[in-house]
Chain A
Amino acid sequence: MLTAEEHGAIAALVSHYPTPRAACIDAMKYLQSRRRWMSDEILSELAVALGMSSAELDEVATFYNLIFRKPVGEKVILLCDSITCWMLGRDKLAAYIGQRLGIAAGETTKDEKFTLLPIVCLGACDHAPAMMIGDMFYGDVDEALLDEVLLVERV
């Protein structure tokens, strides 16, 4: 169930646009910041709040990379897989993260702390390989930096 607080926050997001549906991406991102992902139940409730059908909202939800229709961990690790990061060794880093956390790309750790996903170019090619963990950006990533960062981000 959406809480009264969530309904209030969604109404505030709608105020930036002439139509309620324009706020649907903002609203889904807001709900994910509290609930991590968009379950069927929450998606249907949000659709009602925005005057959309569930199918219309799901059509949007399933299109965008950063809207999750399956459970994800507390923090999503987005490791760039585009050209410069690929040249500078991102595949090895993906394998290293996978080995450290015991997950493959697309999977979530057992303690639900991390989900590992590939992401398109993060616009930091001068600091390749690049990644994000949640909202935090990390550039010039190597195994030593990963060892440090995964410890810090776990807390």
Chain B
Amino acid sequence: MERPLTRNMRKGEAPLDFAGYLRAGGYAAVRDTLGRVAPADVARVVTESGLGGCGGGGFPTGRKWQAMPSRAARPGKRYFIVNADEMEPGTFKDRLLMEGDPHQLIEGVILSAYAIEADTAYIFVRGEYSAAINLLRKAVADAQAAGMLGENILGSGVDLSIHVHAGAGRYICGEETALLNSLEGRRAVPRAKPPLPMTSGLWGCPTIVNNVETVCNIPHIICHGAAWYRALGRDGEAGTKIFGVSGRVKRPGAFELPMGMPMRELIEEHAGGMKDGFLLRAALPGGASTGFVMEAHIDVKMSFPAMAAMGNRLGTGTAIVLDDQTCPIGFIANLQHFFAQESCGWCAPCRDGLPWVEQTLKAIEAGHGEPNDLDLLSEMTNNLAPGRTFCALAPGAMASLQTGLAFFRDEFERHIHSRRCSWQ
């Protein structure tokens, strides 16, 4: 099968430099597109490709671009931003793309910014990704020196500057409006929507924010067309996806595979199955903000619609495996600790609700649970449901709790009645 996103990566080798990337056919899409294809046509091809946002939302990328007011309707500055603030627990795919082929991302930025007619782009990378930050800064400098960035790129009359911004932590920076506040030098609290960033984003200007993996797909879609991209997926799904597995499997890692492949194949074949002596109990399909898929259901397809049909989310597509020797309550308590700590504190249900959830779970885990704690936790999943908080952080946190309460009810009850954790 074709693996466009990882085709230039060789295990244990440094990523391609500018010359190497060029020799591998890189930047051909920039040469063939800028000033030759109308920006609206670039956006149309991306819409036709079926590419969805790879940060976890899955919203069609081309449609997001097309929702931006035209340059004629909104003259003036507009921005293109790459969300490289990968901090969803269990997720390690954007790191791979940035460290493995930095020029692929730069090429994607040039084409995406062209499609939305922006002349300034920022790549917002989490501060801890120092290797990725250095590689991207070098890639930008080298592309600029070769005339692939800056003014009048390759004589096309198109200008673009890219600035790599290194963040200073906080999960909430990955929420696109919080990211905008952070880039403006403010606390990263989400903004009220509407207006959406495509009409009023960075410094009030029309802005598109796309995830690293989403942007890395763009050069390939432009080079080979929407039909080619769609055919990469399985069972009617479009494209490839960087899936991953972590936890007690034989070969934890990230793998570029067809969108729509079954979770079983991902875990059993690509990740090598469970380590000897461990059994698979459940998995979160795509990071800490997704719900449990029990072992009996792992034939589900790894796709946005298939996960939605079972009331779950694909999220980032990097699965976290829960084995039979890890306490599910401790597992959920660890996830809730993360969300409680990373709540930005802007809205009360999230700021006060998540620490309450965390403390209740830790009490149950420590053998101090009360029988009505389970009703309280259920009520919290309702209080922090989508639409009841300012952004998606708390509803995401509730995914593992809600499914955990349903699937591991007996474990919760045993902890409470025996007043201890049987795994400790």
A contacts, CB < 8 Å to B: 16-19, 21-26, 28-29, 50, 59-60, 63-67, 78, 81-84, 86-88, 119-128, 132, 135, 137
B92 touches A137 (CB 8 A): no
Q: Determine the chain A residues whose CB is within 8 A of the CB of B185 once the complex forms.
A: 17, 19, 21-25, 50, 60
The smallest C-beta distance from A10 to any residue of chain B, in angstroms, reads 13
B86 touches A123 (CB 8 A): yes
- Which A-chain residue is minimally distant from B332 (CB atoms)? A83
Contact with A along B80-110 (1 / 0, CB 8 A): 0000001111111011000000000000000
A25 touches B341 (CB 8 A): no
The smallest C-beta distance from B127 to any residue of chain A, in angstroms, reads 5
B contacts, CB < 8 Å to A: 86-92, 94-95, 126-131, 163, 165-171, 182-188, 203, 244-248, 252-254, 288, 318, 320, 323, 326, 331, 334-335, 337-338, 341-342, 344
- Which A-chain residue is minimally distant from B120 (CB atoms)? A18
Knowing A28-B168, A78-B128, A82-B334 are in contact, say whether A87-B247 is a contact too (CB < 8 A). Answer: yes
CA A50 – CA B185 in complex, angstroms? 11
B87 touches A123 (CB 8 A): yes
A-B contacts at CB below 8 angstroms, number: 132
Q: Determine the chain A residues whose CB is within 8 A of the CB of B165 once the complex forms.
A: 16, 26
- Which B-chain residue is minimally distant from A24 (CB atoms)? B185
- Taking A50-B185, A84-B320 as known contacts, 5 extra A-B pairs with beta carbons closer than 8 A to each other, sorted by chain A number, are A60-B185, A83-B338, A86-B334, A121-B88, A127-B252
CA A28 – CA B166 in complex, angstroms? 12
The smallest C-beta distance from A31 to any residue of chain B, in angstroms, reads 12
A126 touches B244 (CB 8 A): yes
The 5 closest A-B pairs by CB, nearest first: A65-B169, A125-B246, A64-B168, A82-B89, A21-B185
* Among A21, A66, A87, A123: residue with most chain B CB under 10 A: A123
The smallest C-beta distance from A20 to any residue of chain B, in angstroms, reads 8
A123 touches B94 (CB 8 A): yes
The smallest C-beta distance from A13 to any residue of chain B, in angstroms, reads 10
B338 touches A67 (CB 8 A): no
B203 touches A25 (CB 8 A): no
Q: Determine the chain B residues whose CB is within 8 A of the CB of A84 once the complex forms.
A: 89-90, 246-247, 320
The smallest C-beta distance from A6 to any residue of chain B, in angstroms, reads 18
A126 touches B254 (CB 8 A): yes
Q: Determine the chain B residues whose CB is within 8 A of the CB of A82 once the complex forms.
A: 89-90, 288, 334, 338
